[in-house]
Amino acid sequence: MSMLHLVNKSPYENGNLNTASSIMKSGDVLLLIEDGVYGAVKSGKASAMLEGCAVSVMGPDLAARGITEDKLADGVNVVDYAGFVELVEKNDKVQSWL
Amino acid sequence: MAEETKKFMYINRKAPYGTIYAWEALEVVLIGAAFEQDVSVTFMDDGVYQLVKGQDTSGIGMKNFSPTYAALGDFEITKIYVEKESLEERGLTLDDLQHLVWEDEDEDWAEKDSIRLVNRAELGDVLADQDVLFNF
């Protein structure tokens, strides 16, 4: 059973990314959306939390915030809205860390 | 009796699109600029994200208000403080931010930088020197 974990808040504002990334099990996927995408920036301190996690990030939310794909941590997968739906479909459950 | 000029500081600590704070702050700053006070603006914590250049909101159906920051100089808002620690924690440098300038009419409209990079202690001094603080 796999779970899709959604994080939509900046990791520098609250502990949601920390909670999600540390509770995730092997086979789970983390999707960063809205202000959550700041966690995927390689040079930022928070990206250390992503180590060992399968991470996807919303492309339109990155673009809105001026983050280009070359700034992302290694292995982060950029998706669009169709890719978001696909992830929801592929995983058994969705957990939104609001 | 001449009205006293007060030092107004607007403190921005939120990222631009996840909440409405950043946009609202910008509107309040621009309205406040009409009252000829001594206005400064601070960007710290996630607020530094507001000034990141290259924002393109076409994919999220929201207005990209980031070009408006470049107009602050025209409203005589020339003191924009950016906290160094906030940039560093987020892996950002001044090069990632918009280059904001103002024109100094006392020096033949010479273009000058508006952004002042300050560390937390220096920012504490700046805040202590203000009369009114607005938080967003």
CB atoms B64 and A12 under 8 Å: no
pLDDT score at B32? 86
Residue A62 scores a pLDDT above 70: yes
pTM: 0.94
- Which ipTM value was assigned to this complex? 0.92
Instruction: Output the DSSP codes for B46-105.
Output: GGGGGGBS---GGGTTS---GGGGGGGGGGT--EEEEEHHHHHHTT--GGGB---EEEEG
Name the class of domain B7-135. alpha beta
Give A92: exposed, middle or buried? Use CB within 10 Å, 0-12, 13-18, 19+. Answer: exposed
B54 touches chain A (CB under 8 A): yes
Kindly report the CATH class assigned to A3-97. alpha beta
Is residue A73 helix, strand or coil? coil
Average pLDDT for consecutive 10-residue bins of chain B (136 residues)?
A: 82 97 96 89 98 98 97 95 98 98 95 97 98 97
Please state the domain extents for chain B: 7-135
Task: Output the six-digit token pair for A9.
Answer: 């808040």
Q: Are B16 and B98 in contact (CB under 8 A)?
A: no
Every domain of chain A and the residues it spans: 3-97
CA angle B119, B123, B124 (to 5 degrees): 120
In the prediction, which pLDDT does A60 show? 98
Residue whose C-alpha is closest to residue B83's, from B50, B127, B135, B45 = B45
- Looking at chain A, which residue has its C-alpha nearest residue B64? A64
**In this complex, do B16 and A38 lie within 8 Å of one another by their Cβ atoms?**
no
pLDDT at position A15, please? 97
- In chain A, % of residues over pLDDT 90: 99
> A43–B92: do the CB atoms touch at under 8 Å?
yes
Can you tell me the distance from the alpha carbon of B111 to that of B100, in angstroms, rounded to the nearest whole number?
Answer: 10
Task: Write down how long chain B is.
Answer: 136
Q: Provide the mean pLDDT of chain A.
A: 97
Q: How far is CA B9 from each of CA B32, B70, B107, B128, rounded to the nearest angstrom?
A: 11, 18, 26, 10
B69 touches chain A (CB under 8 A): no
Tell me the C-alpha distance between B22 and B74, whole Å.
Answer: 19
Which pLDDT tens digit goes with each residue over A2-19? Answer: 999 999 999 999 999 999
Contact B15 A65 (CB under 8 A): yes
- Per-residue pLDDT at B34: 85
CB contact under 8 A, B66 and A12: no
Q: Is B46 on the interface with A (CB under 8 A)?
A: yes
Q: What is the pLDDT of residue B2?
A: 59
pLDDT of residue B91: 98
Query: To the nearest whole percent, how much of chain A has pLDDT over 70?
Result: 100
Supply the pLDDT for residue B33.
Answer: 85
pLDDT for A28 beyond 70: yes
A43 CA: distance to closest CA in chain B (Å) = 4
Residue of B nearest to A68 (CA): B54
pLDDT confidence band for A94 (50 / 70 / 90): very high
**How much is the pLDDT for B4?**
81
Is any Cβ of chain A less than 8 angstroms from the Cβ of B20? no
Chain A contact residues (CB < 8 Å to B) = 8-10, 12-13, 34-35, 38, 41-45, 47, 59-61, 63-68, 80
**Cα(A55)–Cα(A5) distance, rounded to whole angstroms?**
9
Q: To probe the interface with A, which of B51, B56, B94, B136 has the most A CB atoms within 10 Å? A: B56
